[in-house]
């Protein structure tokens, strides 16, 4: 176990465990640091008078550490322009290295991305989803990448959105699930209107497109195993935008949740033999309480109550609430959006990105939601809503309840924009989790977290026999009056990816009592608690 390099930690431990709601006498909780960090990216949607539906859906981005220097880098996807890779510098700024890396998307109509070391060579690779063939960039380990899509066989030609990685069959190599949205090409474009005013079409104007599960053959190639694994659905009922692998039932294997736009969501239970059972209906996770198929966008899952069970959160359309599917155990979920205090505040906004993060390190995972309408003339269709919307922050009060703290989270939370993908990660390694937000046809936002310093512990997991990124590993940290379980995930939110490292806020605690790791191949490990907190640990799978 090693301490990873970090910058600007210098933490002051505060006593007292009161909830750190942001107050006016403190610096803003978050500030937009994109400009200061030289993260100069502006998404270009390619908006046209034709109003092609894809123009309003992009895009995603995320945090990765492509050169293993212990600092997060950023990859941002563009729809009508080049994708960009920014290298994280020691001083908290970024340098555009796209040209050298060779990862600009080659003129594709970009949507989203996810990152994983699919060949276990120690360097994280980049997968880009597009309207049209997707791209897999293999990390050469020298700051450059090679497009290996054709060889790997993962160039899904449909309109892909989210892509998420997991080793669903425990063979030590990461497999890939790719969400596809609609059967659309420019040739299929339909003109939609509202009272003769052109608008972007609703998804019902097009057929859904089938998703694909790619099984990793362990030789740099993949095989479409969608049907064999039992995750093939009627493609017309599948208009997928968000997905997440998570161990729903604590049985050690990766289950799959998929958020669909206007059609019921999917939940596939991993049967442990390389196949899945569709438990969408009986689990209660396909529909919200009203039984209406909502417009599922982004998705995240987290242990919100120390139970070790991951609860699923899905963002939805305007005049639908976002949905918190509470994991009751036994493969059953119930819609607890109202009880959690997440229903009312989400009713009017249109949610896309979703991230659970402990922004104030009090030991409970809070919630960030990126909002923005899909119609640039939204008030025309519904005067009670707007195109540009504020993002939202919710503080976890414990016992499954949240309180919206958007109004006191800083001026950047008062700014209205057209939020899409979002990702969480501590880009400056100061122990406070930051946020990256993509805006449609707008500038990227880097929300730098300035919360009061509290104890925390970060972990980077490295697989040896399991996949190198330890995607799917489950870590439980225990301390006085504290237990929290997290998973390593590659791909979540809306077409985006958060930091692969795990982050545990610990409040005023000065030590942890236990760290238990369940590796994706099933091996269990007790990690000796560190003598001091406020650092990132490197935890390596034992041989």
Partner 1 sequence: MTGALVLAAVVLGQARPPDTGAAGLERAAARMADRDYAGALKLLEQLAARGKPDGIVYYQIGVCQTVLGRFEEALASLERARAAGLDGPELRGSLGIARYNLGDNARAREELEAALAARPADPTVLLYLGRLDFKEQRYVDAEQRLRRVLALEPANTGALFSLGRTLIAAGKTAEGKRVLERHRRLSYLSDRLKTLREAAAGPDAPAATLAEFGDTCLELGDRAGAAAAYARAEGLEPSGAATSLGRGKLAYFAGDFEAAERQLSRAAAQPGRACEARLYLGLALRELRRNDPARRAFESAAADCPVEVRVLQNLAELEIQRGQLDHALELADAIERLDPDAPGALFVRAVCRLYRKDLDGAEKAALEAARLDAADPEYHRLLRAIYGAKGDTESARRHELEMQRLIGQRKVNP
Q: Which residues bind partner 1 (CB under 8 A)?
A: 190, 202, 204-207, 234, 236-237, 262-264, 280-282, 284, 286-294, 316, 319-321, 337-339, 341, 343-348, 382-384
Identify which of residues 247 and 320 has a Cβ nearer to partner 1 in the complex: 320
3-state helix, strand, coil in the chain (%, to 5): 10, 40, 55
Closest separation in Å from C-beta 49 to partner 1: 20
Strand ranges of the sheet holding 240-246, from the earlier edge strand across to the other edge: 240-246, 255-260, 266-270, 276-278
Closest separation in Å from C-beta 265 to partner 1: 11
Identify which of residues 261 and 300 has a Cβ nearer to partner 1 in the complex: 261
Closest separation in Å from C-beta 339 to partner 1: 5
Helix H or strand E segment including 151 = helix 149-152
How far apart, in whole angstroms, are the C-alpha atoms of residue 449 and residue 426?
A: 9
DSSP one-letter string for 77-104 = --SSS--EEEEEPTTS-EEE-HHHHT-S
Closest separation in Å from C-beta 121 to partner 1: 43
Closest separation in Å from C-beta 288 to partner 1: 7
Closest separation in Å from C-beta 286 to partner 1: 7
Helix H or strand E segment including 227 = helix 226-229
Given the structure tokens 């089938």, which residue do they identify?
210
How far apart, in whole angstroms, are the C-alpha atoms of residue 59 and residue 64?
A: 17
Q: Would you say 222 and 244 are in contact if contact means Cβ atoms under 8 Å apart?
A: no
How far apart, in whole angstroms, are the C-alpha atoms of residue 298 and residue 294?
A: 12
Q: How far is CA 314 from CA 86, 266, 389, in A?
A: 29, 12, 18
Closest separation in Å from C-beta 289 to partner 1: 7
Identify which of residues 90 and 329 has a Cβ nearer to partner 1 in the complex: 329
Q: Would you say 381 and 313 are in contact if contact means Cβ atoms under 8 Å apart?
A: no
Identify which of residues 347 and 482 has a Cβ nearer to partner 1 in the complex: 347
HEC profile of 167-181: CCCCCCCCEEEEEEC
Identify which of residues 80 and 286 has a Cβ nearer to partner 1 in the complex: 286
Identify which of residues 63 and 184 has a Cβ nearer to partner 1 in the complex: 184
Q: What is the Cα 103 distance to its own chain's centre?
A: 20
Helix H or strand E segment including 526 = strand 524-527
Closest separation in Å from C-beta 342 to partner 1: 11
Q: Would you say 437 and 422 are in contact if contact means Cβ atoms under 8 Å apart?
A: yes
Identify which of residues 16 and 383 has a Cβ nearer to partner 1 in the complex: 383
Closest separation in Å from C-beta 202 to partner 1: 7
SS3 150: helix
Q: Would you say 529 and 476 are in contact if contact means Cβ atoms under 8 Å apart?
A: no
Q: How many CB atoms lie within 10 A of CB 133?
A: 17
HEC profile of 331-390: CEEEECHHHHCCCHHHCCCCEEEEEEECCCCCCCCEEEEEECCCCCCHHHHCCCCCCCEC
Closest separation in Å from C-beta 261 to partner 1: 10
**Which sign, positive or negative, has the C-alpha torsion 208, 436, 2, 481?**
negative
Torsion of CA 502, 503, 506, 510, to 10 degrees: 80
* Token output for 56: 């309003």
Identify which of residues 64 and 279 has a Cβ nearer to partner 1 in the complex: 279
Closest separation in Å from C-beta 206 to partner 1: 7
Identify which of residues 57 and 152 has a Cβ nearer to partner 1 in the complex: 57
How far apart, in whole angstroms, are the C-alpha atoms of residue 238 and residue 373?
A: 22
Closest separation in Å from C-beta 62 to partner 1: 30
Q: Would you say 246 and 310 are in contact if contact means Cβ atoms under 8 Å apart?
A: yes
SS3 204: helix
Identify which of residues 186 and 236 has a Cβ nearer to partner 1 in the complex: 236
Closest separation in Å from C-beta 516 to partner 1: 33
Identify which of residues 78 and 265 has a Cβ nearer to partner 1 in the complex: 265
Closest separation in Å from C-beta 399 to partner 1: 12
Identify which of residues 121 and 289 has a Cβ nearer to partner 1 in the complex: 289
Identify which of residues 271 and 465 has a Cβ nearer to partner 1 in the complex: 271
Identify which of residues 367 and 517 has a Cβ nearer to partner 1 in the complex: 367
User: Nearest to residue 244, comparing CAs of 308, 311, 300, 307?
Assistant: 300
How far apart, in whole angstroms, are the C-alpha atoms of residue 321 and residue 348?
A: 8
């Amino acid at each position: 176990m090693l301490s990873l390099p970090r910058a600007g930690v210098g933490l002051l431990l505060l006593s007292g465990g009161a909830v750190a709601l942001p107050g006016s006498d403190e610096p803003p909780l978050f500030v937009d640091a994109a400009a200061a960090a030289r993260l100069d990216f502006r998404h270009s949607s390619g908006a046209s008078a034709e109003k092609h539906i894809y123009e309003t859906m992009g895009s995603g981005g995320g945090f990765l550490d492509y050169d293993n220097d212990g600092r997060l880098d950023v990859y941002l996807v563009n729809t009508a322009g080049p994708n960009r890779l920014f290298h994280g510098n020691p001083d908290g700024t970024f340098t555009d290295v796209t040209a050298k890396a060779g990862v600009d998307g080659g003129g594709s109509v970009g949507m989203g991305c996810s990152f994983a070391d699919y060949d276990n060579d120690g360097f994280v690779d980049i997968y880009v989803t597009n309207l049209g063939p997707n791209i897999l960039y293999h990390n050469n380990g020298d700051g450059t990448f090679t497009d290996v899509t054709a060889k790997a066989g993962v160039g899904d030609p449909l309109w892909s959105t989210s892509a998420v990685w997991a080793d669903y069959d425990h063979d030590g190599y990461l497999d890939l699930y790719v969400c596809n949205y609609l059967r659309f090409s420019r040739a299929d474009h339909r003109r939609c209107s509202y009272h003769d005013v052109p608008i972007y079409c609703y998804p019902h104007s097009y057929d859904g497109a089938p998703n694909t599960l790619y099984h990793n053959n362990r030789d740099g190639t993949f095989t479409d195993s969608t049907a064999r694994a039992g995750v093939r659905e009627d493609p017309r009922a599948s208009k997928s935008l968000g997905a997440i692998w998570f161990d729903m039932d604590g049985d050690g294997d990766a289950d799959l949740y998929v958020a669909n736009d206007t059609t019921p969501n999917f939940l596939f239970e991993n049967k442990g033999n390389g196949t899945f059972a569709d438990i969408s209906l009986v689990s209660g996770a396909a529909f919200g309480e009203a039984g209406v198929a909502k417009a599922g966008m982004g998705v995240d899952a987290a242990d919100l109550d120390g139970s070790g069970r991951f609860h699923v959160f899905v963002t939805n359309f305007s005049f639908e609430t976002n949905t918190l599917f509470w994991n009751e155990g036994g493969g059953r979920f119930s819609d607890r959006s109202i009880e959690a205090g997440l229903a009312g505040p989400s009713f009017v906004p249109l949610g896309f990105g979703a991230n659970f993060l402990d922004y104030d390190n009090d030991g409970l995972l809070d919630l960030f939601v990126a909002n923005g309408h899909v119609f640039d003339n939204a008030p025309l269709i519904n005067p009670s809503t707007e195109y540009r919307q504020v993002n939202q922050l919710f503080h976890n009060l414990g016992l499954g309840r949240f309180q919206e703290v958007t109004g006191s989270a800083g001026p950047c939370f008062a700014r209205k924009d057209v939020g899409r993908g979002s990702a969480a990660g501590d880009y400056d390694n100061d122990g406070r989790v930051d946020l990256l937000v993509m805006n449609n046809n707008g500038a990227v936002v880097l929300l730098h977290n300035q919360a009061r310093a509290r104890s925390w512990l970060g972990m980077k997991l490295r697989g040896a026999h399991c996949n190198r990124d330890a995607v799917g590993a489950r870590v439980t940290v225990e301390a006085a009056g504290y237990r929290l379980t997290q998973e390593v995930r590659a791909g979540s939110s809306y077409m985006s990816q958060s930091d692969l490292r795990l982050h545990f806020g610990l409040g005023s605690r000065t030590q942890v009592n236990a760290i238990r790791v369940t590796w994706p191949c099933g091996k269990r490990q007790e990690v000796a608690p560190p003598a001091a907190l406020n650092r990132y640990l490197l935890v390596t799978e034992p041989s």
